[in-house]
Amino acid sequence: MKIIFLFTAFLPLAACASQPPLHLGNIHPGEVRILQFQVKDPEAKLFCRDLPVRYSSNGKLARAILIETYFSDLTPYTCQQKKGDRVLESYSLKVIAKEYEAEFLKVDMKKIKLNAKDQKRADAEQLILDKIYASSNNDFFFQLPFQEPMTSFKTSIYGKKRVYNNHKKGQHLGIDYRAAIGEKVPAANRGRVVLARDLFYTGWTVLIDHGLEVFTNYGHLSKTLISEGTIVEKGDIIGLSGNTGRTSGPHLHWGVKIQGQYVDGMSLVTETEQTFKNDK
Ligand SMILES: [Zn+2]
């Protein structure tokens, strides 16, 4: 009896010495997971694959959004809550390959290449976007799950590879919803409108910063209905669908960019529904 007691008493000590990471489940390239954790120290920082990841916290409970890039090389995904060099807790995700569908298009390559004027415009706009993406709010603006901006048929889903004349040219890293010109487009969640203007590729576009490097964008609009700087609530109408920019017809393009990577909006909706469902 005594021996058994001693054995169990020592067990937690042994576990402390080399605590295994908490396993958070699986993630596929292009997906999102939310890590909820107890903050072990007020100065604790979170690192994933050795890079800092910002999180939202009430001092005790914290939430961070973890993402796996579409271009993942499937290396193991581990995160550590650290104070200085000391690891307070660690977490792991299993990265599992995902084969995204391809669509084959035949096009005149001359039509794909931009002329000098268009290229100059597109480059200048990219610089503006890069600046915006680098200055996200330092906490989440939202306290509710994300919603899809439309419920209509998806004419193109996230991750579809685009093969032009049998050469893989890119991939569609957003979701296209069937929409006529002039349909109302609601914000997927609360956030600050950081851009509402006409862009070369996506035409009239609204970009919302939801905080901590979580952004959603709405492209090819016929009209924007809010101005830059406005805080919008989830469901607020931000514009009307259309066919502006480089598009073959009217639809809504919805993009989700987190920590500099385009991820699947459906994954963000599902994950935030899971995580935020028990909140008040
Ligand atoms: Zn699209």
- Taking the centre of ligand 1 as the mean of its atom positions, its distance from the CA of residue 253, in whole angstroms, is 4
15: pLDDT strictly greater than 60: no
Is there a single domain that holds both residue 72 and residue 161? no
Please give the average per-residue pLDDT across 7-34, as a whole number.
72
- Taking the centre of ligand 1 as the mean of its atom positions, its distance from the CA of residue 85, in whole angstroms, is 43
Whole-number Cα distances in Å, 172 to 30, 52, 78, 114: 11, 28, 28, 19
Encode pLDDT of 153-201 as tens digits: 999 999 998 887 777 678 999 999 999 999 999 999 999 999 999 999 9
What pLDDT is stored for residue 53 in this prediction? 96
Is there a single domain that holds both residue 157 and residue 50? no
- Taking the centre of ligand 1 as the mean of its atom positions, its distance from the CA of residue 150, in whole angstroms, is 13
What pLDDT is stored for residue 242 in this prediction? 98
Is there a single domain that holds both residue 216 and residue 255? yes
Domain range enclosing 196: 102-276
- Taking the centre of ligand 1 as the mean of its atom positions, its distance from the CA of residue 81, in whole angstroms, is 37
Nearest to 212 by CA among 59, 14, 52: 52
- Taking the centre of ligand 1 as the mean of its atom positions, its distance from the CA of residue 44, in whole angstroms, is 39
- Taking the centre of ligand 1 as the mean of its atom positions, its distance from the CA of residue 143, in whole angstroms, is 27
Which residues keep their CB under 5 angstroms from ion ligand 1? 174, 176, 253
- Taking the centre of ligand 1 as the mean of its atom positions, its distance from the CA of residue 175, in whole angstroms, is 6
What pLDDT is stored for residue 165 in this prediction? 77
* pTM, two decimal places: 0.90
- Total number of residues shown for the chain: 280
85: pLDDT strictly greater than 70: yes
- Taking the centre of ligand 1 as the mean of its atom positions, its distance from the CA of residue 217, in whole angstroms, is 11
HEC string of 45-64 equals EEEECCEECCCEECCCEEEE
How far is the C-alpha of 172 from the C-alpha of 262, rounded, in Å?
Answer: 10
- CATH number for the domain that contains residue 201: 2.70.70.10
Is there a single domain that holds both residue 14 and residue 58? yes
Is there a single domain that holds both residue 124 and residue 262? yes
Burial class (CB in 10 A: 0-12, 13-18, 19+), 166: exposed
